[in-house]
């Protein structure tokens, strides 16, 4: 890596450091190689960025984002954070854990009905002490968040609705702009030049990696894999990247055409495991002892595995899978995962 790149990295870190940020996540997270999986697939070297190990409430990528989101929130000195998210949200779990570290009460308004069996992320939400409320749809969720805020005020408290945080999207991009520099530093230290990153993203986190590639003259490819059909991801990603660039005082601009994101691994829909994703979960577990989830990281890994099988990479190239967490989801989908065939071979040392 040319010395000039380090100057660019240092200058970018200085810009990021001007943005208010809390210290919540364990950083840096490790990058580990997955040689057994690479041998089994007959493809390039595979590395895993372990952002499932960010340290709070089972970890995950959201803790990086929350360092910026909650830094903005605490400026208003709240005592209660209110957030509306999905029933089995990874973000909800990590938000409660982060707020606990900051001494803040959390009210979760989750879209969906309370299940008869409390499992996965929802179980962790309760264990962390969140006050959990449910709403049948997005409109009901918004009304419930506003009502919760009024209740807190009426009791003399100071509520903050995190969904209204102006940093909500940009925080994710900032986090993964910073994380990209972290990864490139780690890989360079190991003598590895990355050719391609894979990351589960509906646009926010990928915006940070895309901005890093453009602003830092990166030679790598970034392939995002979305878990839903909700967003026009290229346009969303470029928009968030450009908002982030403006905040940082950068002239860099990202175009939708710069964004490579796959919506062909969603399967039956958002939040529903797929056969390819389940296979990826099993392969990572059996070959590397790394647990993915079947909703986000499993589907992203399925894309990477498919591309390796399609021989899109040479064996001397290196790909990085960004493990964004989501581990508690495996307990929600236990029956689905147990229904997988058990005949997949297990890699052995020295296998070819």
Banded model confidence at residue 337, pLDDT cuts 50, 70, 90: confident
Decide if pLDDT at 342 tops 70: no
Task: Pick the closest to residue 282 from 199, 348, 338, 349 (CA basis).
Answer: 338
Q: Cα 299–351–283 angle (5° rounding)? A: 15
Q: H/E element holding 323? A: strand 318-323
Give the N- to C-terminal CA distance of the chain in Å, as an integer: 31
Which pLDDT score, from 0 to 100, does residue 338 have? 66
Q: Between 348 and 299, where is the model more confident? A: 299
pLDDT in tens, 145-170: 999 999 999 999 999 999 999 999 99
Burial classification of residue 144, based on how many CB atoms lie within 10 Å of its CB (0-12 exposed, 13-18 middle, 19 or more buried): buried
pLDDT in tens, 81-129: 999 999 999 999 999 999 999 999 999 999 999 999 999 999 999 999 9
CA separation for the pair 39, 283 (Å, rounded): 12
**Tokens 């959390």 found at:** 106
Which pLDDT score, from 0 to 100, does residue 339 have? 66
Banded model confidence at residue 314, pLDDT cuts 50, 70, 90: very high
Task: Pick the closest to residue 301 from 27, 43, 57 (CA basis).
Answer: 43
Q: Between 4 and 104, where is the model more confident? A: 104
Which pLDDT score, from 0 to 100, does residue 348 have? 37
List domains and CATH numbers for the chain: 3-60+168-338 (3.40.50.1100), 62-164 (3.40.50.1100)
pLDDT in tens, 271-285: 899 999 999 999 999
pLDDT in tens, 193-243: 999 999 999 999 999 999 999 999 999 999 999 999 999 999 999 999 999
Query: How far are the Cα atoms of 49, 81, 282 from residue 97, in angstroms, in the given order?
Result: 22, 12, 28
CA separation for the pair 211, 209 (Å, rounded): 5
**Averaged pLDDT for residues 181-192:** 96
pLDDT in tens, 37-66: 999 999 999 999 999 999 999 999 999 999
Task: Catalogue the E-assigned strands of 67-175.
Answer: 80-86, 105-111, 131-135, 159-161
Which pLDDT score, from 0 to 100, does residue 2 have? 45
Which pLDDT score, from 0 to 100, does residue 132 have? 98
pTM metric for this prediction = 0.93
Report the SS3 class of residue 348: coil
Per-residue H/E/C for 228-262: CCCCCHHHHHHHHHHHHHHHHCCCCCCCHHHCEEE
């Amino acid at each position: 890596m040319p010395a000039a790149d380090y100057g660019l990295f240092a200058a970018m870190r200085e810009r990021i450091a001007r943005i208010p940020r809390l210290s919540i996540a364990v950083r840096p997270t490790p990058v580990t190689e997955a040689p057994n999986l690479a041998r089994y697939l007959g493809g390039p070297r595979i590395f895993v960025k372990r952002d499932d190990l960010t340290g709070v409430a089972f970890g995950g990528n959201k803790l990086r984002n929350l360092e910026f989101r909650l830094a903005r929130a605490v400026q208003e000195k709240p005592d209660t954070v209110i957030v509306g998210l999905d029933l089995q949200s990874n973000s909800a779990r990590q938000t409660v854990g982060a707020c606990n570290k900051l001494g803040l009460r959390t009210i979760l308004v989750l879209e969906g009905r309370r299940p008869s069996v409390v499992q996965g992320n929802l179980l962790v939400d309760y264990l962390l002490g969140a006050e959990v409320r449910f709403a049948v749809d997005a409109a009901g969720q918004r009304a419930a968040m506003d009502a919760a805020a009024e209740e807190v005020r009426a009791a003399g408290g100071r509520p903050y609705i995190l969904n209204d945080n102006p940093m909500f999207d940009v925080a994710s991009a900032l986090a993964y702009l910073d994380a990209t520099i972290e990864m490139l530093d780690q890989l360079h230290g190991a003598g590895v030049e990355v050719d391609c990153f894979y990351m589960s993203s509906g646009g926010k986190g990928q915006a940070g990696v895309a901005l890093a590639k453009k602003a830092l003259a990166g030679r790598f490819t970034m392939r995002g894999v979305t878990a839903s059909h909700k967003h026009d991801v290229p346009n969303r990603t470029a928009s968030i990247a450009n908002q982030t660039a403006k905040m940082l005082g950068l002239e860099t601009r990202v175009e939708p055409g710069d964004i490579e994101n796959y919506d062909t691994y969603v399967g039956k829909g958002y939040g529903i495991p797929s056969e390819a994703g389940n296979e990826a979960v099993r392969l990572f577990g059996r070959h590397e002892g790394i647990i993915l989830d079947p909703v986000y990281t499993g589907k992203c890994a399925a894309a990477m595995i498919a591309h390796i099988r399609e021989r899109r990479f040479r064996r001397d190239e290196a790909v990085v899978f960004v493990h964004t967490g989501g581990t508690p989801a495996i307990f929600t989908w236990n029956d689905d995962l147990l229904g997988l065939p058990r005949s997949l071979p297990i890699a052995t040392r020295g296998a070819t």
